[in-house]
Amino acid sequence: MGFIFVIAGIVAALIHLAVRRPAGRAELVDIFLLHSLIFNVGFVGVFFGFIPHVFYADFAAEQIGWQTGSHFQYEVGFHDGAWGILGFLCIRFRDRFWLATGLGWSFFMIGAAWGHLLDTINNANYAHNNFFMIFVDALIAAILLGLLALRYWWVPRRA
C-alpha cells in the first residue's frame, strides 16, 4: 500500500511537468520534492498511518503482525497524522519547512524500517505490512533525502 504513494508522487510530478515545464534543474527537483512530500509524507501519514492505527487499530495490528488491543496504536496513529498534516502543509509553505518536514519524516521512516527489520529477524514476523514495509519505509527515506540533497545543492540559497 505504501508503495502506491511512492508511485503516485512520481506520477503526479510527471503530470505537473507535462502541464508546466520547469525553468531549470532546480525547479525540476522542487517539483519532484513537493509531490514526494505531499504523497510520501502527507498521504502516507494520514491514510496509511493515522486512519488505520486510530480508527481500525486491531485490524492494522493484525496486518502488521502486532498484538491487538494496544493503546500504542493510537500513539503511532496520531504521530503519523501529525506528520501527514505537515506533508500537506508543504503545498503552502516552502524552503526550510520542506527541509524540516523531509528530514523529520525520513528519520522516522529509517527508524520504522529498522523496527520492522528487527521484528522480522527476532520474531520471524513476515506479515505483509511488516516485512514489505522494511523496503517501502527505506525507499521513502532515500527518495526524500536524495531530493533534499539535490535541492540544497542546486537551488540558490533563499533568505
Q: What is the pLDDT of residues 18-41, one digit of tens each?
A: 999 988 888 999 999 999 999 999
Q: How confident is the model at residue 159 (pLDDT cuts 50, 70, 90)?
A: very low
- Class of residue 23 by CB neighbours under 10 A (exposed 0-12, middle 13-18, buried 19+): exposed
pLDDT, one tens digit per residue, over 73-96 is: 899 999 999 999 999 999 999 989
Which pLDDT score, from 0 to 100, does residue 156 have?
A: 65
Is 118 in contact with 131 (CB distance < 8 Å)?
A: no
Give the residue carrying C-alpha cell 522516522: 108
Query: By three-state DSSP, how is residue 92 classified?
Result: coil
Q: Residue 154 pLDDT more than 80?
A: no
Which pLDDT score, from 0 to 100, does residue 51 have?
A: 97
For residue 38 the three cell numbers come to 505531499
pLDDT, one tens digit per residue, over 91-143 is: 999 989 999 999 999 999 999 999 999 999 999 999 989 999 999 999 999 99
Query: By three-state DSSP, how is residue 55 classified?
Result: helix
Q: What is the pTM of this model?
A: 0.91
Q: Residue 5 pLDDT more than 60?
A: yes
Q: Residue 158 pLDDT more than 70?
A: no
For residue 119 the three cell numbers come to 521484528
| Sign of the dihedral defined by the CA atoms of residues 74, 109, 62, 43, in that order | positive
Q: Residue 10 pLDDT more than 80?
A: yes
